[in-house]
Amino acid sequence: MLFLKLLKESFLFAGDALRQNKTRTFLSLLGVTIGIFTIIAVQSAVDTLRNNLQHSVDKLGNNSIYVQKWPWVGGSDFPWWKYLQRPESDLRDFNELSRRITTAEALSYEINIDNRTIKYKSNTVEGAQVDAASHDHDKTWNFDFESGRYFTEIESKTGAPIANIGYDIAQNLFPDGDAIGKQIKVMGRYVTIVGVFSKQGKDMLGISTDKEVLLPLNFARNLIDIQSSKYGPAIIVRGKKGIPTDDVESEIKGLMRSIRRLRPGVEDNFSLNRTTMITKQLDDLFGIVNKGGFIIGLFSVLVGGFGIANIMFVSVKERTNIIGIQKSLGAKNYFILLQFLIESVLLCLFGGFIGLFFVYLATFAVKAAADIQVILDAANVIRGLSYSVIIGVIAGIIPAYSASRLDPVEAIRTN
């Protein structure tokens, strides 16, 4: 009951402070509002970016390893001249690796051919990405079909003139929605569409099947040199379930050194790339952004905290007479202290709620402007309100303590 009485009186006094000193209170709360907005907005932005990154990584396969010429990441001292001399991953590497490896669930050999213009009658799609892959591509990548199917094993082996196409390509070339069985011309040859990928949309890494035309590797090898470096050949290995990716990578490394006859002590002439390399680098970047946003927001919150402390000191001075009366009627020191401390916390919480409200509005603005779903989870909301409470306690503790130590006789005499 005592706590409820304290809370009620604190609400009344806090409301009184807001009404009587609107400009002063507004300017003080502004710092808290901006601070909480900055901290939570940055954390929500980082969570959103991380979620989009994870979505991209899921497409690549978080337990897949890419055997390639170039590493995915590098620093300022990136020795590009050394990597330039490496051989590309070729069909011999792929066939030998497929024959020897024991920890892999699937392997695929893939190339990125070119951006082409795809036509069907009077309809055209610019910038379609033409790719070719061996049969297990559907096991090393994650994708779904809107309609149709993937290549059969016989179609892949014989190099049948067929294709899977992206959702956007199907929508533009076949507005009636009936793409399966139609023929489009790719690289000077007619191919029959057997499948349409589901809509994926844009992601952080730019990975999407929406404008892709996927051909069987053995069909493409009749048209181009599928081992040429200009097509960026890669061998993708997905490990078996239950086997740690580190173990799969270790076996691949040993086998590739054996296949390429590298002597002990000689440096690898291939790169083993994993999605964790990307996520680690971006997590480091996100950590820096988070810290930067927190520091900027903290300064704003501290400025607001000083403003709240100023309000509380003024409030103590204005209510000195009332404090004296309360103490003369038997109010304990802790009662006076809690009264002002709760008032300070409530003022800061009010600023925190305003900041969170603006973050909430910002999520709708970003969704409308860029079609990005911003993540504002409960943890960020609780974190923001916790910061408000902490600042409220810090800002109010000294004024509240000074109020609780007032002499009742001297306080009553104060006008």
Residue that finishes a domain, picked among 244, 269, 294: 269
162 assigned to some structural domain: yes
pLDDT of amino acid 370 = 66
Residue 256 falls inside a structural domain: yes
pLDDT, tens only, 283-318: 777 777 777 777 877 777 777 778 788 878 877 887
> What pLDDT does 202 receive?
67
Residues 107 and 203 in one domain: yes
Same domain, 256 and 325: no
Q: Do 316 and 341 fall into the same domain? A: yes
Q: What is the pTM of this model?
A: 0.67
Q: Is 41 or 398 the better-scoring residue by pLDDT?
A: 398
Q: Is residue 21 situated within a structural domain? A: yes
**Is 345 part of a structural domain of the chain?**
yes
Q: If pLDDT is split at 50, 70 and 90, which confidence band does 182 have?
A: very high
Domain check: are 211 and 286 in the same one?
A: no
Residue 255: name the closest of 88, 135, 108, 99 by CA: 99
Burial of 352 by CB count in 10 Å (0-12 exposed, 13-18 middle, 19+ buried)? buried
Evaluate if residue 204 carries a pLDDT over 70: no
Output the six-digit token pair for 331.
């109010």
pLDDT tens-digit profile of 108-120?
Answer: 999 998 888 888 8
Same domain, 222 and 297: no
Task: Judge if 285 and 263 occupy the same domain.
Answer: no
* Residue 296 maps to a domain: yes
Average pLDDT over residues 254-282: 85
Q: Which of 269, 295, 327 is the last residue of a domain?
A: 269
Q: How many domains does the chain have?
A: 2
Q: Tell me whether residue 189 is in a domain.
A: yes
Residues 259 and 332 in one domain: no
- 193 pLDDT band (50/70/90 cuts)? very high
Last residue of a domain, one of 216, 234, 269: 269
Examine residue 73 and state whether it is found in any structural domain, yes or no.
no
What percentage of the chain exceeds 90 in pLDDT?
A: 25
Cβ neighbour number for residue 2 with a 10 Å cutoff = 10
| CA atoms of 261 and 253, how far apart (whole Å) | 12
Find, among 213, 200, 206, the residue nearest to 118 by Cα: 213
Residues 205 and 324 in one domain: no
Residue 15 lies in a domain: yes
In which domain, by residue range, is 351 found?
1-56+280-413
